[in-house]
Amino acid sequence: MLSYFLGNPRRKKILIPIGIILLLCIGGAIAITIRSKPLLFLPSPPLKDLAAQHGIELGNFAIATLIDESSYNQILTSQFNLALIDNTPNWYFTDGGLRPGPTAYNFKQIDRIVAYAQANHMTIQAHHLLWGEDKWLPNWLKNGNYTQAQLMDIMHDHIKTVVEQYRGKISEWSVVNEAFTRGQHVNGLSDWWADHVGGDAYIDQAFIWARQADPQAKLILNDFANDHYNPVSDAMYNYIKAAKARGVPIDGIGMQMHIDGTHAPDKQEVITNMQRFAALGVGVYVTEFDVNMSAVPVSSASKDQIEGSIYYNMARACIESKVCHSFAELGITDKETWYNYMGPSTADARPLMFDTTYQPKQAYYSFRTALEQP
Ligand code: GLA
């Protein structure tokens, strides 16, 4: 039969291109399968189940640009039960951000991640209602020449509108971010909000408005460099103590925990620091964990080992403190981390548990071991 077809020159003319097209289609299909195949076989039980044995929720970043990628989606939904919505809740975040104008709200980007997290039965933690970092604030706000009173009204409207919009859906809010590090000008930073509304009294007010907008949501005061004892964590401790006494509804302290691999905090110190906050009546939330290995002056293999031991120690600190509500990492794969956008000094940060090809690193195995232990 085949020789009949191929022997006929007219049919040959038709069949050869069809054959080529078919081969191309099959090749393409194989390539797509290889690229998108869930390439992982991760041990059972998943990390989230191990963490649940300690009463800890395990979080990771539901990145808008990656949740449709099969490997990312597979790891996020199988290993984690807390979805972080980071970046998109900032007032300005790329075109079409949350606050395009003084009276305008655009919920499209947040809605997409909320729907994704809900479909996957994940708790949702969103970052941030207020963050005094210039670059995430829109020009209409920064250049609007508003009075302090007008800015407080704008802030109120924002918190009320956004929190009410997601009432019953987003259950944890980072209400204020980095007010203490910025208030102390750590790394030369400053807090746009404090600078424009007359100091940090806005923090109390933000929590009060957030509570009014959703009485059930957990309200978190978030910052970096507050995982161990230093002037930042001391200032937060003193503030929370006084604010609680004034009746300000703060439910949690958020510890970003962007750990510098050259200066990892001492496990025991982190434990006692977490416990002193818990003694004030707030929960402890690790909100953005990662480990920047850029400046660690050792070979690549040794970097992996050191990073692994930091993941292990910090997970153990969270567990052994007995006051840690959740442990969330700011990304899954080294392919997509904020350090990749911070210039050459952090180009080799490789801060996460999976490498750029989604293979689990030592950090994953060490973290897993930490969760497996009682
Ligand atoms: C800070 C913020 C996060 C995230 C990271 C990286 O830590 O709290 O929301 O934006 O920076 O950009």
Give the distance (Å) from ligand 1 centre to CA of residue 26.
43
| pLDDT higher than 90, residue 161 | yes
Reference 189, options 233, 237, 131, 148; nearest CA is 131
E strand spans, the chain:
57-61, 82-85, 123-131, 172-177, 218-223, 252-255, 258-260, 283-292, 324-329
Mean pLDDT of 254-268: 98
pLDDT in tens, 313-332: 999 999 999 999 999 999 99
Give the pair of three-digit tokens for residue 242. 């006084």
Domain ranges of the chain: 1-37, 40-372
269 by Cβ neighbours in 10 Å (0-12 / 13-18 / 19+) ranks as: middle
| pLDDT higher than 80, residue 26 | no
Cis peptide leading into 128, omega within 30 of 0?
yes
Band of the pLDDT at 36, cuts 50, 70, 90?
very low
CA-proximal residue: ligand 1, atom 5 (nearest): 338
Band of the pLDDT at 13, cuts 50, 70, 90?
low
CA separation for the pair 310, 353 (Å, rounded): 11
* Range of lowest pLDDT (31-45, 47-61, 137-151, 359-373): 31-45
324 by Cβ neighbours in 10 Å (0-12 / 13-18 / 19+) ranks as: buried
Band of the pLDDT at 28, cuts 50, 70, 90?
very low
What pLDDT, on the 0 to 100 scale, is given for residue 93?
Answer: 82
What pLDDT, on the 0 to 100 scale, is given for residue 142?
Answer: 96
Helix (H, G, I), strand (E, B) or coil at 196: helix
pLDDT in tens, 163-176: 999 999 999 999 99
CA separation for the pair 35, 252 (Å, rounded): 41
Mean pLDDT of 26-36: 45
Please report, as a single letter, which amino acid is at residue 13.
K
Give the distance (Å) from ligand 1 centre to CA of residue 37.
30
- Residue given tokens 């980007």 in the structure block: 109
Pocket residue to mutate for ligand 1, from 176, 226, 288, most atoms within 8 A of Cβ: 288
| pLDDT higher than 70, residue 127 | yes
Mean pLDDT of 340-353: 96
pLDDT in tens, 53-88: 999 999 999 999 999 999 999 999 999 999 999 999
366 by Cβ neighbours in 10 Å (0-12 / 13-18 / 19+) ranks as: buried
Give the pair of three-digit tokens for residue 9. 């020159």
What pLDDT, on the 0 to 100 scale, is given for residue 2?
Answer: 36
| Model confidence, pTM | 0.90
| pLDDT higher than 60, residue 24 | no
The terminus-to-terminus CA distance of the chain in angstroms comes to 69
Reference 218, options 246, 244, 253, 189; nearest CA is 253
How much of the chain exceeds pLDDT 70, in percent? 89
| pLDDT higher than 80, residue 209 | yes
What pLDDT, on the 0 to 100 scale, is given for residue 128?
Answer: 98
CA separation for the pair 228, 335 (Å, rounded): 29
* Range of lowest pLDDT (22-26, 60-64, 145-149, 179-183): 22-26
**Which neighbouring-strand residues pair with 329?**
60, 289
Mean pLDDT of 133-152: 97
How much of the chain exceeds pLDDT 90, in percent? 87
- Residue given tokens 């054959």 in the structure block: 19
Q: What angle do CA 145, 95, 257 make, to 5 degrees?
A: 85
CATH topology of domain 40-372: TIM Barrel (3.20.20)
Cβ atoms 131, 177 nearer than 8 A: yes
pLDDT in tens, 283-295: 999 999 999 999 9
For ligand 1, say whether the CB of 365 is within 6 Å of any of its atoms. Answer: no
- Dihedral Cα 290, 294, 296, 298, nearest 10 deg: 120
| pLDDT higher than 80, residue 16 | no
CA-proximal residue: ligand 1, atom 12 (nearest): 338
For ligand 1, say whether the CB of 86 is within 6 Å of any of its atoms. Answer: yes
